[in-house]
Structure 1
Amino acid sequence: MTTTVRGTTPPKGEPGTPAAPRELGGSASEGTSEAAAEAMTGLDMVLVDGARGPLRRLVPPVRTAARFGATLARRPDAVARRAGALAQDLARIAVGRSDIEASPKDKRFADPAWTGNPLLHRAMQAHIAAARVAVGLVDDAELDWQDDERIRFSLTNLVDALAPSNVPPLNPLMWKAVVDTGGRNVIQGLRRMLTDVTSPPRVPSMVEPDAFAVGEDLAVTPGAVVLRTPVLELIQYRPTTEQVHAVPLVMVPPTINKYYIADLARGRSIVEHYVAAGQQVFMVSWRNPSAEHADWGLDDYGQAVLDAMDAAQEITGSDRVALQAFCSGGIITAMLLAHLAATADLGRVASASFAVTVLDWARAGTVSALMDENAVREAVEKSRKQGYLDGAMLAEVFAWLRPNDLVWNYWVNNYLQGKPPPAFDILYWNADTTRMTAGLHRDFIDVAVRNSLTEPGAAGMLGSPVDMAAVDVDTYVTAGVADHLCPWQSCYRTTQLLGGRSRFVLSTSGHIASLVNPPGNPKATFQVAPETPADPERWLASAEKVRGSWWPDYTAWLAERSGAEVPAPQALGSAAHPPIDDAPGSYVHES
């Protein structure tokens, strides 16, 4: 069996709902690469101190631990009941009469030896029994939502670390590899471990560094760089249809990692799909900043998006643009739209789309709960001293958010079995980390901690007060049903902040896999409803499940707002913006 940890329920009248249930000491996902991809990115993680190191992050704050201990001390009957249940379980396990079993989805214990070998079977059962008691004690404590999330997060990491599948002498896969390789797996595993621990992010590698090549296997949609500034390159993609929509689409990717999450391998590229649907697509490719760019903040990135819009309009001759932004790029874009509204220039935006973007951080899941004053203060000070927040440090933090999928799975594969990790394009993209300027890191933290986008005028962009309600363009908002970094309910609240008509789409999978969701996937579905009421659960109750990818739904929605069809341009760029370089450009190669 597996043990489910449930989030606390918000008070009545409070918008939003807690994140989806999570497992403590539970299963690694059926498709580990897909599960790993779901946990890879999200602006919220920047708000947890990437400089504190994973060991400190695994320990809850002293006050939280004290409240947890004090609450249990006042409930000795509950503690005794849990201890008694564990003693009974262990006794039944010892004599071979326990019916405790791992979930069929738990791939850590998929090998037949975990059920066929009496010693291994008992070790597995004891681990599951102990995990169940740990969960029960947290339930009994009935902590407030933030302390509850912190304690569960720490316990999850502890329980996962102590799983018998992680112990070399107990893992049957290691011994089978010893027999199959004549012991070479041990030497290969040690070599891999030494390589990983001597350089950030100091977790098992999820993909080989030469598994893919940007511009050869990934980011291969034909196009050209038509604008280069100190902050970004703007790529215009070559049309593949005879007719294109007059209004260009400018895509704004996250500021964490590189833009080609939207242009992965052929058949899995969002850009490729949009171009094939007759869109004129422009992509922002952010520069990988260094310490000399420390002062770049939200205003600098907002201005960069404005520069990209200007160039796309000049090249296409359109008086309007459509925008699509992902994750942290969505926050910059939303604030820029508020600036355009304040300066009476919002009419140049035909539509906007926000994918896995949180603008309202009230109870935005585990990461929100993990924030505290010390973490915020240390984060700002660390990045100020360095001039940036290191992407490798963030990758380490991401991994420990999902240890079964992102740490221990690769511990077994890479170190115990001595095997290379499988090649997976999203994980390669994730390993291709970037830095975040100290100024942008500071500004993002300030916006999130104060939750200032929910209060008109509490934040600013390019000298204008930010009022989300003034952004009255049509918007298309997407989220992933299993996204634990940006819970779908938090993404849904974007529809309530903005002033225009919104279409909300809830995709399958999690943070990244909900985006990289091409047509043709037989398991893909999405949910959509005709209205967006204030309560996300009301929306869910009325939503219709549609088979397939949301990509065609979005391109159909976008086409209605992208003007008439016109002949596709024969050449890229213009006299004012001539092609500078072939796609994917130079900034994407900066390390």
Structure 2
Amino acid sequence: MAQPATDPPAGKTDPPAPKTDGGAKPATGRPADPPEEATEAALGLDMVLVDAARGPLRRVIPPAGTALRLGAALARQPGTVVKRTGELARELGRITVGSSELAPGKKDKRFADPAWTGNPLLRRVMQAHLATARTAWELIEDADLDWQDDERIRFTATNLVDALAPSNLPVVNPLSLKAAIDTGGGSAVQGVKRLVRDLATPPRVPSMVEPDAFTVGEDLAATPGKVVFRTPVFELIRYTPTTETVREVPLIMVPPTINKFYIADLAPGRSIAEHYVGSGQQVFMMSWRNPDERHAEWGLDTYGQAILDAMDAVERATGSERVAFQSFCSGGIILAMVLAHLAATGRQDRVTAASYAVTVLDWSRAGTLSALMDEEAVKAATEKSRKKGYLDGAQLAEVFAWLRPNDLVWNYWVNNYLQGKPPPNFDILFWNGDTVRMSAALHRDFIEIAVGNALTEPGRATMLGSPVDLSAVTVDSYVTAGVADHICPWQACYRSTQLLGGDNRFILSTNGHIASLVNPPGNPKSTFQVAEATPPDPQQWLEQAETVKGSWWPDFMTWVGERSGGEVPAPTTPGDLEELGEAPGTYVFDK
């Protein structure tokens, strides 16, 4: 979705919207309180995979060439630099005498405490930071770099500006001072303890949830079921029906390969799997093994074969020769390639429907993603994981945190360290911290697919020996995205509707990458947007879309139900399979 073409209100300091589509320049600035929408210049999955392997310094140090070009561009505009410097000096003068009207955006929680505006000294410190940050964004805009360098320098500047905010300083932040006074210094002691603990082990970012806040199998991943199939790559969970009848065609859920499966089975009442079972759907869940150096050669073909193995196992368990799928993020990439393989081998009729949640299949026009990806970065990232045999999940968790530093790093820095408080318990953040590794081969394959945008051209990628042609996938598709997704921008997810054959339905949910998925019925704030047609242009789709109150989960149940045959009595036996243990299985506990 295009950024609003308006300048920021006086005194507001949010950075300008980034350039997109090869250099089309937006209007200077953006509203201080923009709608909660992610531009396509968000960071993508492949960017995350590269950044995780290369380390954290890349976030605060721009490439040397980019820094030189920025300097050269500004050197060619000495009048502009003088003008911006003068504006900053005059604003600092107004700040000094107390006449500045600079104020943070309404949604900027860093300066929400009344002391930031009520205390003359703190107000001046805050305003000086805002003024300097605004000047930095203006100079970047004035440099008029090409889109790639522009994205790179904005990425670095955002991380530096956020890190240097006075709200991060213990001797300045009023919340820190109040906590120290209220606890007689105890908050400082607790804060130091928490800091030392977090720095001791990866990911070296503030803890977002206490390690004992939840127990997998008890208050998370607690939907009743049995493990009915196991391979070295995955376990297959069959959830116990709770209705007298179920739909004939079973649903197989394919979770992401970079996180554990229970994002789809969080706390009771917030579990996607629980809701589907309660709606009369037969549900099977794939639970990926946490690979280590022994599994370095597990690539896309390995995981693609695992999906085929799951299909065979479900057929033996239910007697149904057809299945439906729901996939999430990286799991959706693999599923789409497997369906292309089935189409190429004449077996696509085994699948009645496929859902792709927050999944990107077309990486074109991806803003920061493309800007930060270069041949050197890709080689360095894949070589590092090749030597180790895997990409460490803790490194991935660190990168995900730094994608939204104010929300996921500095917010917890203030809470955990400056105030000495434990972070609030939140099931999604507990899941996010329960990291898994990614095998070196899969890491390499994902990056190669994304960097080459191979899924957009028939035959550029293969799955199990078959050329991948997504247009040959004529299975009906249900594609979902989050309006504020920073990992998989909704416009990029939408483009899957143009790649896949068959009828498709696109759902634009509220919130970001994960919260758009964990969207149970009953939340009065939940909405989703949907339109009858899926034209080529996502903006055109948005103009046609209607907003529906509530969760998209019931909508999906209706859609998949129409493609899942008739009602049959709920099964009471595992069919031709053997019950190997209770859900959530054993692989989910691998560390």
**TM-score for the superposition, normalised by structure 2:** 0.94
CA distance in 1, matches of 2:48, 2:577: 35
1:51 lines up with 2:53 in the alignment? yes
Matched residue, 1:63: 65
Distance 2:357 2:590 in 1: 25
1:512 corresponds to which of 507, 511, 514: 514
Which amino acid counterpart does residue 195 of structure 2 have in structure 1? M
Q: Which residue does 2:351 correspond to in 1?
A: 349
Say if 1:294 and 1:439, in contact at 8 Å, map to a contact too.
Answer: yes
2:586 counterpart letter in structure 1 = S
Matches within 5 A, 1:69-218: 69-218=71-220
Q: Is the 8 A contact 1:223 1:237 kept in 2?
A: yes
1:360-375 pair list within 5 angstroms: 360-375=362-377
- 1:564 corresponds to: 566
Task: Report SS of the residue matched to 2:171.
Answer: helix
Report deviation, 1:149.
1.4
Match of 1:306 among 296, 305, 308: 308
Q: Say if 1:250 and 1:321, in contact at 8 Å, map to a contact too.
A: yes
What code does the residue aligned with 1:6 have?
A
Distance (Å, rounded) in 2 between the aligned partners of 1:112 and 1:23: 25
Equivalent position amino acid for 1:397 in 2: V
**Letter matched to residue 306 of structure 1:** L
1:439 is matched with: 441
Can you list the C-alpha shifts for 1:243-276, whole angstroms capped at 9, x where unaligned? 1100000000000110000000011000011111
Number of the residue aligned with 1:393: 395
Q: Is the 8 A contact 1:256 1:328 kept in 2?
A: yes
The 1:22/1:436 distance shift into structure 2, 3 A limit, reads farther
Question: 2-side partners of 1:247 and 1:128: how far apart?
Answer: 57
Q: Which of 548, 551, 557 in structure 1 is aligned with 2:550? A: 548
The 2-side partners of 1:225 and 1:262 are apart by 16
Question: For the residues of structure 2 that align with 1:48 and 1:23, how far apart are their CA atoms?
Answer: 29
Q: Between 140-149 and 283-292, report the one with greater CA deviation.
A: 140-149
CA, structure 1 residues 516+279, in 2 after alignment: closer, same or farther (shift >3 Å)?
A: same
1:3 is matched with: 14
Give the Å deviation of 1:41.
Answer: 10
* Distance in 1 of aligned mates of 2:29 and 2:553: 28
Kept in 2, the 8 Å contact 1:49–1:379? The answer is: yes
* Aligned residue in 1 for 2:245: 243
- Measured at CA, do residues 22 and 454 of structure 1 come closer, stay the same or move farther in structure 2, by a change above 3 Å? farther
Q: Quick check: 2:59–2:159 contact (8 Å CA) kept in 1? A: no
Structure 1 distance, partners of 2:56, 2:80, is 31
In the other structure, the counterpart of 1:535 is 537
Q: CA distance change for structure 1 residues 588 and 123 in 2, over 3 Å: closer, same or farther?
A: same
Q: Distance in 2 between matches of 1:481 and 1:317?
A: 39
Query: Which residue of structure 1 aligns with residue 588 of structure 2?
Result: 588
Code of the residue aligned with 2:580 in structure 1: it is I
CA contact (8 A) 1:249 1:282 kept: yes
Partners of 1:183 and 1:569 lie apart in 2 by 61
Give CA deviations for 1:7-54 in whole Å, capped at 9, x if unaligned. Answer: 214269xxxx999x9989x89999xxxx9xxxx997334432313221
Offset at residue 179 of structure 1 (A): 1.1
Q: State whether structure 2 residue 457 is matched by structure 1 residue 455.
A: yes
Q: What letter matches 2:522 in structure 1?
A: G
In structure 1, distance between residues paired with 2:371 and 2:522: 37
Task: Tell me which moved more, 134-143 or 459-468.
Answer: 134-143
Q: Is the CA contact 2:311–2:323 (under 8 Å) kept in the aligned structure 1?
A: yes
> For 2:149 and 2:509, how far apart are their aligned partners in 1?
30
The alpha carbon displacement at 1:143 in A equals 2.0
Per-residue CA deviation, residues 175-204 of structure 1 (Å, 9 max, x unaligned), is 111111110111111111111111111111
Deviations 1:228-256 (A, max 9, x none): 00000000001111111000000000001
Q: Which runs of structure 2 are paired with 1:6-17 in the superposition (5 Å)?
A: 6-10=17-21
Secondary structure (helix, strand or coil) at the match of 1:285 reads strand
2:487 match: 485
My pick for the range that moved more, 43-52 or 119-128, is 43-52
- Residue 525 of structure 1 corresponds to 527
- Distance in 2, matches of 1:385 and 1:415, equals 36
Alpha-carbon distance in 1 for matches of 2:313, 2:454 = 30
Preserved CA contact (<8 Å) 2:509 2:527: yes
1:261 to 1:526, Cα distance in 2 relative to 1, 3 A: same
What TM-score comes out, normalization by structure 1 length? 0.94
- Partners of 2:322 and 2:350 within 8 A in 1: yes
The one-letter code sitting in structure 1 at the alignment partner of 2:177 is W
Amino acid at match of 1:432: D
- Report the secondary structure of 1:541's partner residue: helix
Q: 1:579 is matched with which residue?
A: 579
**Distance in structure 1 (CA, Å) of the matches to 2:542 and 2:102:** 34
Tell me the CA shift for residue 221 of structure 1.
Answer: 0.3
Structure 1 contact 42–328 (Cα < 8 Å) conserved: no
Amino acid at match of 2:244: E
**Gap change, CA 1:222 and 1:365, over 3 Å in 2:** farther
Q: What do the CA deviations read for 1:271-322 (whole angstroms, capped 9, x no partner)?
A: 0111111100000000000100000000000000110111112211111100
Work out whether residues 41 and 256 of structure 1, in 8 Å CA contact, stay in contact via their aligned partners in 2.
no
SS of alignment partner, residue 458 of structure 2:
coil
Distance 2:434 2:101 in 1: 45
Matched residue SS, 1:527? strand
Distance 2:249 2:544 in 1: 33
Letter in 2 for 1:426: I
Q: Decide whether the 8 Å contact of 2:51 with 2:58 is kept in 1.
A: no
Per-residue Cα deviation, 1:320-373 (whole angstroms, up to 9, x for no partner): 100110000000000000000000000000000000000111122433322122
Match of 2:409 in 1: 407
Structure 2: distance between partners of 1:8 and 1:41: 14
How far apart in 1 are the matches of 2:43 and 2:72? 35
In structure 2, the CA distance between the partners of 1:548 and 1:153, relative to structure 1 (3 Å rule), is same
Unaligned runs of 5+ in 1: none
Contact 1:142 1:148 in 2 (8 A): yes
**Match of 2:446, SS?**
helix
Q: 1:269 aligns with which of 268, 271, 281?
A: 271
Contact 2:474 2:503 in 1 (8 A): yes
Q: Distance in 1 between matches of 2:532 and 2:431?
A: 35
Matched-pair identity in %: 69
Q: What is the DSSP-based 3-state SS (H/G/I as helix, E as strand, rest coil) of the residue aligned with 1:347?
A: helix
Structure 2 residue runs without a partner (length 5+):
1-11
How far the C-alpha of 1:466 sits from its partner, in A, is: 0.3
**How many residues are aligned here?**
576
Q: Does structure 2 retain, via aligned residues, the 8 Å contact 1:235–1:284?
A: yes
Does structure 1 retain, via aligned residues, the 8 Å contact 2:298–2:441?
A: yes
